[in-house]
Amino acid sequence: MKSIIFILLFAVLNGAGCENEHEVVRSFCYWKTDLNFQKEDDSLMKELDVKHLYVRFFDVDWNPYAQEPLPVATISNVNLNESNPEITPSIFITNEVVLQSNKKQLDSLASRIAQRVNQIGVKMNETKADVIANAIVYPKDYYKQKDYKRINYDSVKALELAKLKVDFKEILIDCDWSEKSKDNYFYLLKQIKKEFPTVQISSTIRLWQYKFASKAGIPPVDKGLLMCYNLTKPDDFKTKNSIGTSEELAQYITHSNYKLKLDIALPLYSWAVVFRGNQFKGILSDYDQLLKDSIKLKKSSESKYVLEDDVLVGQTYLRNGDEIRIEKISEEELDKMISIIKDKIKIDSQTKVTFFSFDKKYINDYETQNISSYYARF
């Protein structure tokens, strides 16, 4: 009898100890129009053990003159230097596109999305082949080698390029669809899947779409990426933090029965929202120097400041009396947000936890040790 009790107690304790013994897939979003990693970027990727990147390949917007959806703002370069994360192409589609397009246009759009993703994939492989060929033709300290014989660079590159295939495992479609546009959007997702039958298709899920799933519908995809930020509009003067708060997040993540496997996206950025006479004037992403100016900028509350002189920030002209609200998610708030997510959403070793966005400024601001701890809390 004692041995049975001991075995049961061991099983319970062992089970409790293993409950969180998984590591999520560490990911970042990269949302700029040019990706050209340097040594510092490689170092950050390695230090944070980032295995995956969502990379914005291009947007799709509605062209009112042509009366059709058109791809715009295509990424111009994808050079990861020495880093080698898994890449998920990400395509942002405006809600107007799916509202305005007819079925024929959506069919054509799915085909054009596939073509453009493939074109960018080929360009990525050409960049990889360049790097490999350069290492083969010009090995380290080759100029010191007495018996060095130069190989034809173009031939080596062609051979290496032939070995590389466009082979994405997942493609993310990012669209804040509405109840009115969901039928067209879901139709488009099905057509995109036909273009990529062996690739996982995922869709971003806004928090309102998660909470009110019966109204928003569940997209016909393999999985979703839950966007746990941008909860309110930054142009609202009364908003405390438009990037998000744990209190607001808890109001949306109220159930655990969403019908899709979910990956998680959290904010890792900050900005300054400018108001003039309570009227929204814009957003500053590069505000660090201004914040250090204690003569021209006076703190009025925990996150608000008032300008006491005219000032030029980049190409933005600010006036005496303008109010500036600094928005950033604190470590304490992130910890609360992670707890709220874990309480309702299943997290396992296949779950991607991604931060928006990969930028040296934000990463250095939050610090790599803290960011690693955020991943570990899942």
**Which sign, positive or negative, has the C-alpha torsion 279, 284, 287, 293?**
negative
> Which residues, including other chains, have CB under 8 Å from residue 242's CB and lie 6 or more apart?
230, 231, 232, 233, 234, 236, 273, 327
Cβ atoms of 192 and 201 within 8 Å: the answer is yes
Tokens of 157: 């590159």
Alpha carbons 197 and 185: distance in angstroms, whole number: 18
* pLDDT for the residue numbered 193: 98
- Give which of 5, 51, 9 is closest to 28, Cα–Cα: 51
pLDDT at res. 365: 93
CA atoms within 13 A on the CB side of 178: 9
pTM above 0.75, yes or no: yes
The answer to whether 113 and 190 are in contact (CB under 8 A) is no
By the 10 Å C-beta count (0-12 exposed, 13-18 middle, 19+ buried), 68 is classed as: middle
Specify the pLDDT at position 20: 58
Supply the pLDDT for residue 286: 87
Look at residues 197, 256, 205 and name the one whose alpha carbon lies nearest to residue 226. Answer: 205
Distances (CA, A) of 113 to 46, 166, 171, 198, 292: 32, 14, 11, 16, 45
Largest CA distance in the chain: 82
310 vs 293: CA distance, rounded Å:
12
Give the pLDDT confidence score for residue 73 in this predicted structure: 95
Query: Could you count the other beta carbons within 10 Å of the beta carbon of residue 257?
Result: 6
Q: Which amino acid is at 160?
A: E
Question: Could you give the C-alpha distances from 52 to 87, 270, 350, 353, in angstroms and in order?
Answer: 6, 22, 12, 9
How many C-alpha atoms does 226 have within 13 Å on its Cβ side?
30
The pLDDT value recorded for residue 213 is 97
pLDDT of residue 5: 47
The pLDDT value recorded for residue 17 is 45
- Nearest alpha-carbon partner for 296 in 311, 281, 283, 286: 311
Q: Are 229 and 209 in contact (CB under 8 A)?
A: no
Cis before 357? omega within 30 = yes
Each of the 378 residues of the chain gets a pLDDT tens digit; together they read 545 444 444 444 454 444 456 899 999 999 999 999 999 999 999 999 999 999 999 999 999 999 999 999 999 989 998 899 999 999 999 999 999 999 999 999 999 999 999 999 999 999 999 989 998 998 888 877 878 888 899 999 999 999 999 999 999 999 999 999 999 999 999 999 999 999 999 999 999 999 999 999 999 999 999 999 998 999 999 999 999 999 999 999 999 999 999 999 999 999 999 999 999 999 998 898 898 888 899 999 989 999 999 999 988 899 999 999 999 999 999 999 999 999 999 999 999 999 999 999 999 999 999 999 999 999
End-to-end alpha-carbon separation of the chain, Å?
38
The three-class DSSP label of residue 235 is coil
**Which H or E run includes 327?**
strand 323-328
